[in-house]
């Protein structure tokens, strides 16, 4: 069947064709035409008009055409019920309806700006709504920060950002230090940039606040120091090779480990081990 609406779509006039094609009319054909020609051409093309004033399938009160289609065709898919307020909020500037609304609007606006052909835009937009549907159906409880350590760090920073600073050592700094110390035996592949992106905070700001409570060290310097401290324990108490110690303490290779070890202690690992065996170790840090 034919369906017709206004030209230059962004949210609703992309989401609705996606909904129609997948749940209402598998053989749907869509026409985007100038606003003042929709009703006339609908008659000529024997098409169902939507998302224009005065027709059945359009905005009603605070709801959009996506909602109207779900209601008329009695679509009970739970994932569509999750999607509906996202589409509605993005299409009507009610971004408080769902945390995904602003993101959907940003993506849709950018696509409409980049793609001038409406049918080409529709095909590109269908990929977005396919993905949104899959997320709503299968992935709502999946988080980007899968690592337990990373999630703990994010949680700590969120607590800090909500409470602000008081001039004293904040609880987040103490908790963060404990988390890092507890997890230093694992491959702690974290960065302030990544954490900052998750929190939508300027990385420079987070870096500056971090150093205030961690011995005037940046995040990277602090982690490096803890890794070298752990390496020293291995050098003094184990028979591991330097390559094994490098691996166990998170360095990319033995050469990198040796360079950082000397930078931190003033000695190469072999010299440190030799002096330690003689009981003459005098590290400079």
Q: What is the pLDDT of residue 33?
A: 97
- Residue ranges of the domains in the chain? 2-139, 148-216, 222-277
Mean pLDDT within 191-197: 57
Out of 3.40.640.10, 3.30.465.10, 1.10.10.60, 3.40.190.170, select the CATH number for domain 222-277. 1.10.10.60
Is residue 175 predicted with pLDDT exceeding 70?
A: no
**Least confident span in 165-169, 249-253, 271-275:** 165-169
Contacts made by residues 212-217, CB under 8 angstroms, sequence distance 24+? 213/169, 213/170, 213/173, 213/177, 214/173, 214/177
Cα 184 from chain centroid?
25
Residue among 150, 147, 266, 285 nearest 219 (CA) = 150
Is residue 151 a contact partner of residue 143, using CB atoms and an 8 Å limit? Answer: yes
Residue among 78, 70, 97 nearest 15 (CA) = 70
Higher-scoring residue by pLDDT: 132, 194: 132
Calculate the alpha carbon distances from 55 to 38, 71, 111, 147, 199 in Å. 11, 15, 27, 50, 43
**Least confident span in 2-16, 125-139, 150-164, 267-281:** 150-164
Instruction: Give the C-alpha separation, 178 to 164, whole Å.
Output: 20
Map residue 189 onto helix, strand or coil. Answer: coil
Instruction: Give the C-alpha separation, 23 to 123, whole Å.
Output: 16
Q: What is the pLDDT of residue 285?
A: 46
| % helix, strand, coil for the chain, step of 5 | 65, 5, 30
Is residue 103 a contact partner of residue 117, using CB atoms and an 8 Å limit? Answer: no
Mean of the per-residue pLDDT values of the chain:
82
Q: What is the pLDDT of residue 131?
A: 95
The model carries a pTM of 0.55
């Amino acid at each position: 069947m034919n369906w017709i609406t206004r030209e230059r779509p962004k949210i609703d006039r992309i989401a609705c064709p996606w909904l129609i094609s997948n749940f209402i009319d598998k053989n749907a054909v869509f026409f985007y035409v100038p606003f003042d020609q929709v009703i006339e051409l609908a008659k000529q093309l024997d098409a169902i008009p939507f998302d224009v004033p005065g027709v059945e399938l359009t905005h009603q009160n605070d709801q959009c055409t996506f909602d109207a289609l779900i209601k008329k065709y009695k679509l009970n898919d739970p994932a569509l019920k999750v999607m509906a307020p996202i589409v509605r909020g993005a299409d009507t500037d009610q971004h408080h309806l769902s945390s995904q609304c602003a993101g959907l609007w940003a993506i849709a606006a950018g696509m409409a700006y980049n793609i001038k052909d409406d049918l080409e835009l529709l095909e590109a937009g269908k990929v977005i709504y396919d993905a949104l549907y899959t997320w709503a159906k299968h992935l709502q409880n999946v988080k980007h920060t899968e690592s337990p350590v990373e999630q703990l760090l994010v949680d700590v920073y969120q607590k800090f950002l909500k409470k602000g600073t008081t001039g004293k050592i904040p609880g987040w700094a103490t908790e963060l230090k404990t988390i890092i110390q507890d997890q230093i035996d694992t491959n702690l592949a974290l960065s302030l940039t990544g954490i900052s992106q998750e929190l939508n905070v300027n990385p420079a700001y987070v870096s500056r606040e971090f150093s205030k409570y961690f011995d005037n060290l940046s995040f990277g310097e602090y982690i490096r120091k803890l890794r070298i401290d752990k390496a020293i324990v291995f050098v003094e108490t184990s028979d591991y090779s330097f390559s094994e110690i490098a691996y166990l303490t998170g360095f990319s290779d033995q050469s990198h480990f040796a360079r950082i070890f000397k930078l931190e202690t003033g000695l190469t690992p072999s010299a440190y081990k030799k002096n330690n065996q003689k009981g003459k170790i005098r590290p400079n840090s």
